[in-house]
Amino acid sequence: MDVIGGIFLDIYIVKNDGYHNSEILQLPGGSALNVAIGLSQLGHNVRMFGNVGKDFVGNFLLERLSFHAVNVEWIKKVDQNTATFITMNEKPIAIDRRINDLDLIIPKKKSEYLFITTEINERIINSDIFQNYKKTFFDIGPRPKLINKRCENVFFIGNEKECENFLFNCDVVKLGEKGAKWGEKIVALSGKKTPYGIGMGDVFDTVLIDGILNNLEKEQILHNAVNATQRISQYLGAYNKIINMKY
């Protein structure tokens, strides 16, 4: 499995009663990075393409990916700051993603499958790269408006808001606390608010793709993906959700 997408340092700030009592977590981040780690944990051979800076953050993220058996041979180190995503109480307050808009090193020899997000530059998003794969799983977040073409082998995934105004039809729609749907198939959740929402979509994508690659039935795949997200909602941070993922 090839994975293309943004690579971030995620900083989570949980402000309690006053700044001096805040909890701060620094974790590997980016939807593509999380899905790469998740698929590797489920036994798939994964290599990731992206950019990190020539800084201690970039080295830390490469070490974490390698620790989880993700091939980092094609991740480029460049003279910029590694991308950073900062939230306070689950709300984004600052994002430096400029390094992710640079070109990537992508080898001629491709894997059978690709997972990609819109956290990368528009040239790749609308290139012919997808034609080289048996199937491409494309999570259209966070910038679905950048997509202006599709190939027959592309399987689109997005949340409800992203899919509403999307140029094409989403194959699978993530409904958040309401569950998910795939065509006419809908798997519902209780609708109760989850403790920590960031990263649930990454777990959903990982379990969904794993189920498709293992030729499970559509309804079973949806059940597995929805239930997996429910089980890990108590973990703060997308990376913490991925490494504790079970289904």
Written as one string, the DSSP assignment of 169-184 is: --SEEE-GGGEEEETT
* pLDDT at position 191 over 80: no
Question: Please, are residues 10 and 174 in contact by the beta-carbon 8 Å criterion?
Answer: no
Q: Mean pLDDT across the stretch 68-84?
A: 97
Quote the pLDDT of residue 129: 92
Sequence spans of domains, the chain: 2-244
Predicted TM-score (pTM) of this structure: 0.96
The average pLDDT across 81-98 equals 96
Q: Look at 131 and 93; give whichever has higher pLDDT.
A: 93
3-state secondary structure of 191: coil
Is-contact 233 196, C-beta < 8 A? yes
Q: Out of 3.10.20.30, 3.40.50.720, 3.10.105.10, 3.40.1190.20, which CATH number does the structure's domain 2-244 have?
A: 3.40.1190.20
Task: Provide the token pair at 42.
Answer: 């489920």
Q: What is the pLDDT of residue 179?
A: 93
